[in-house]
Amino acid sequence: MNMKKHVKRGLWNHLMKSGVEMGLASIIYEVGVASKYVNHAMRTGDLGLAGTSNLYGEDQLALDVVADEIIKDRLDHTGRVSRIISEEQSEIIIFERQNRSGGYSVCYDPLDGSSLVDVNLSVGTIVAIYAGDDPLLSGCHQVGAMYVLYGPRTTLVYGAGNGVHEFTLNNLGEYVLTKEFIKVKESGRIFSPGGIRRDYLPEHEAVVKKLEEDGYKLRYSGGFVPDINQILLKGGGLFMYPATTTAPQGKLRLPFELNPMAYLVGLAGGAASDGRRPILELDCYDLDQRSPVYIGSREEVEMAKHYFNK
Ligand code: AHM
Ligand code: MG
C-alpha cells in the first residue's frame, strides 16, 4: 500500500508550502483554531439569547458574543495583530502588547447570520487581513482573507495572494486540504437575491428579471457565507444584496463582509461590484459602512453593471 496516499495536507503545511509570510500565516491558522471552539460552542451550547439564563440559571451569552471573544483572544495570541475591528464591537480595538514590527490589522464578523443557528441553518466567520495599523482601508489593500463555514461539514477557505483553497475539519480536529485553486467560471447558473422585491429599485428589478428569463436557478439561504461558498464551490453564479427604497446602502457591511468576500471571489477569477464601482475600490471610513453588492461570475456582475450604467 502506498502510505503517501493517506497523508493529507494540513492547513499549516499548506500555508508554509505556499510561501505565506509567517505573521499572516499565523493569523490564518489561529482563526482556524478559534473556529474549532466556535464550532464546539455552537454545536453543544444551550439554546438561548444574550441576557437570558441557561439551564443552570447562569447568565448566557449569545453565540456571536462568544465567537467574538474566542476569535479576539486567538488574534491577540498570535502577537502579530495590532488593531482589530469586529462586527460585535463599536470601535477599533488596539492590542497593546503587540510588537509593532511586521504587524497586521484584522476586520472580522465572528458569526455572520447568527440568527440562523436557531433554525439550524449554516453560518460562518468572515475575516479580512491588512498589513500595518489601519483596519479601515479599501478592500484592495487586503493581504489575505478567509471564512469558516459551519454547515453539515466545517470548512475553511483562505486566500493570501496565491489562489483560494478549501480545507475540511476532520474528526481529529485538523483542517485538511479538500480543494486547491478554486475557480469561479465566467458565468454560472444560480442566483441569490437578497432584499424584499417590493422595495427593489428599477435597475435591480431589471437585473433579477434578466436572470429569471435566462433560466438561472434561485439559491438563497439567508447566510452570506454559505451563499458565497456555494458560488465558489459550484464554480459560478451571482449573489446580490441590493440598495432598496428602504435601505439605500443595502444591508451588508463593507469592512467585515463585503471586502473579504470580494477579495476571495476576485482571487478565484470572479468579480464584485456595488453596481457601478468595484467593491474593492470603495473607500472604507466607518465600521458600520454598508454597500449594495453584486458578486460572483464576471459575466453576471457585468450584466448588473450594465443596468446601473444605462
Ligand atoms: P448579520 O451580519 O446581522 O448576521 O446579517 C448578515 C446576513 C447575511 O449572512 C445574509 O446574506 C443577509 O444578512 C441576509 O439578509 P436577509 O435576512 O435580509 O435576507
Ligand atoms: Mg454579519
For residue 220, which atom of ligand 1 is closest to its CA? 19
Same domain for 250 and 166, yes or no, is no
In this structure, which residues have their CB less than 5 angstroms from ion ligand 2? 109, 112
SS3 172: coil
Residues 6+ apart with CB under 8 A from 118: 47
| Residue that finishes a domain, picked among 179, 208, 232 | 179
| Residue that finishes a domain, picked among 151, 179, 207 | 179
pLDDT tens for the chain, 310 residues long, are 454 555 679 999 999 999 999 999 999 999 999 999 999 999 887 554 555 444 444 455 689 999 999 999 999 999 999 999 999 988 999 987 655 566 999 999 999 998 899 899 999 999 999 999 999 999 999 999 999 999 999 999 999 999 999 999 999 999 999 999 999 999 999 999 999 999 999 999 999 999 999 999 999 999 999 999 999 999 899 999 999 999 999 999 999 999 999 999 999 999 999 999 999 999 999 999 999 999 999 999 999 999 998 8
Same domain for 269 and 175, yes or no, is no
Q: Which residues form the pocket of ligand 1, taking CB atoms under 6 Å from any ligand atom?
A: 112-114, 194, 222-224, 251
Exposure class string for 76-96: b at 16+ Cβ within 10 A, else e: bebebbbbbbbbbeeebbebe
Number of domains in the chain: 2
Ligand nearest to the CA of 241: 1
Same domain for 145 and 194, yes or no, is no
CA of 224 to the centre of ligand 1 (A): 6
Q: Residue 95 CA to chain centroid, in angstroms?
A: 23
CA of 25 to the centre of ligand 2 (A): 24
Same domain for 150 and 13, yes or no, is yes
CA of 112 to the centre of ligand 2 (A): 4
Same domain for 280 and 216, yes or no, is yes
Predicted pLDDT of residue 62: 87
- Supply 42's cell numbers: 455552537
Predicted pLDDT of residue 6: 57
The residue type at 74? R
Element containing residue 293 per DSSP (H, E): strand 293-296
Pocket test for ligand 1, best of 241, 249, 259 (most atoms within 8 A of CB): 241
Same domain for 281 and 162, yes or no, is no
CA of 226 to the centre of ligand 1 (A): 11
CA of 112 to the centre of ligand 1 (A): 7
- Supply 176's cell numbers: 485538511
The residue type at 255? P
Predicted pLDDT of residue 54: 45
Give me the half-sphere count of Cα atoms (radius 13 Å) on the Cβ side of residue 78: 30
For residue 241, which atom of ligand 1 is closest to its CA? 11
For residue 113, which atom of ligand 1 is closest to its CA? 4
| Nearest C-alpha neighbor of 262 from the set 286, 281, 248, 290 | 281
Ligand nearest to the CA of 226: 1
CA distances from 154 to 70, 124, 147, 183 (A): 17, 9, 11, 20
* Cα–Cα distance, 281 to 269 (Å, whole number): 17
For residue 239, which atom of ligand 1 is closest to its CA? 11
Ligand nearest to the CA of 126: 2
CA of 223 to the centre of ligand 1 (A): 6
Same domain for 58 and 20, yes or no, is yes
How close are the terminal C-alpha atoms of the chain, in Å?
62
* Cα–Cα distance, 22 to 26 (Å, whole number): 6
Exposure class string for 121-159: b at 16+ Cβ within 10 A, else e: ebbbbbbbbbbeeebbbbbebbbbbbbbbbeeebbbbbb
Same domain for 87 and 139, yes or no, is yes
CA of 37 to the centre of ligand 1 (A): 23
Element containing residue 109 per DSSP (H, E): strand 104-112
Ligand nearest to the CA of 256: 2
CA of 6 to the centre of ligand 2 (A): 37
Predicted pLDDT of residue 58: 47
Q: Name the pTM for this structure.
A: 0.93
* Cα–Cα distance, 155 to 179 (Å, whole number): 11
Same domain for 161 and 129, yes or no, is yes
For residue 112, which atom of ligand 1 is closest to its CA? 4
Ligand nearest to the CA of 230: 1
Same domain for 84 and 226, yes or no, is no
* Residue 72, domain member (yes or no): yes
Q: If you ran DSSP here, which 8-state letter would residue 52 be given?
A: E
Same domain for 150 and 64, yes or no, is yes
* Residue 2, domain member (yes or no): no
* Cα–Cα distance, 87 to 92 (Å, whole number): 10
The total number of residues written for the chain in this structure: 310
Q: What CATH number is attached to the domain comprising 36?
A: 3.30.540.10
Element containing residue 76 per DSSP (H, E): helix 63-77
Structural domain including 242 reads 190-308
